[in-house]
Amino acid sequence: MKPLNFEENLLLLRLKRKDPEAFAKLYDLYVTPIYRFIYFKVPTRQDAEDLTSEVFLKIWQYVSETEDIIENLRALLYRSARNLVIDFYRRNANKEIISADQVSFILEDDRQQSLLSQVETKLEMKNIELILRQMKDEYREVIILRFIEELPISEMAKILDKSKGSVRVLLHRALKVAKSLLAKDGKQQSD
């Protein structure tokens, strides 16, 4: 972990000085993880893309202007992404709540995708992804951060603004829910 930390700290310093190359490097390093994190939290791919871009812009502004000491750049990115998703839902509170069944059809932009590929997308999407989307956001978050992004519990605690113990409890419960959803799903399929 130490070499990454050193690189990160160097990157941070350059970002503070508004070095565009540093920004490009940050983007290249984190665009996929941040996109992935946001992807499961929002209904459409378009939303995920838009919000991901917003995250990087926000970070760029924040780092260069803030006086605070930033200890962990990666955690900052995830925290920022999380906050932006919350804002997103606040802004779109008027829109109807999307159910899991409808999700697959919305995932690709209707205007750009043919009906056939939409159907293909639904078939392609594995059960596990559907299950993840069905879960409570709290549980989904910890599963994504732990098993998909593979972050340590200490960092997760920073991102989620919770204690390490709470994070562990959440993970435990999330797995339980996932297991039962999987089992239910399996049963449905065999019927």
Partner 1 sequence: MENNKVIKEFKNLKNQIYPRPEWVALSRDILLQQISHAAKTPENFHQPKAMDYVVAAAQIFRQSFFQPVVVMLLVFVSILSSSLMINAAFYSLPGEPLYRVKLALEETHLALTPGEEQKVELKIEFAQKRMAELDKVVAQADITPEEKKKKIEVLVREFKNNVSSVSDRLAKINESNKQSVNAAQKELTLKMAVTVEQKAQDLAKSIDEKTSGLEQENIEVKQIVAEAVETAQATSVSAQEIIDEAKAETEIKIEGQIQGVSTPDSEAGDSAGDVATSSDNGTETTQEFVN
* Count of Cβ atoms closer than 10 Å to residue 109 Cβ: 11
Q: How far is the CB of 167 from partner 1 (least distance, A)?
A: 16
Q: Name the strand (E) or helix (H) holding 146.
A: none
Q: How far is the CB of 162 from partner 1 (least distance, A)?
A: 20
For 111, phi then psi, to 5°, come to -65, -25
Cβ atoms 140, 41 nearer than 8 A: yes
Instruction: Give the one residue of 143, 156, 157, 170 binding partner 1; rule: CB under 8 A.
Output: 143
* Count of Cβ atoms closer than 10 Å to residue 33 Cβ: 20
**Contact letters for partner 1, residues 28-67 (x by CB under 8 A):** x--xx--xx--xx----x--xx--xx--xx--x---x---
Q: Which CB sits closer to partner 1, 67 or 96?
A: 67
Q: Which of 110, 157, 103 is closest to 134 using CA atoms?
A: 103
* Count of Cβ atoms closer than 10 Å to residue 183 Cβ: 10
Q: How far is the CB of 93 from partner 1 (least distance, A)?
A: 26
Residues that bind partner 1 (CB under 8 A): 2, 5-6, 9-10, 12-14, 17-21, 23-24, 27-28, 31-32, 35-36, 39-40, 45, 48-49, 52-53, 56-57, 60, 64, 71, 126, 128-129, 132, 143, 147-150, 175, 178-179, 182
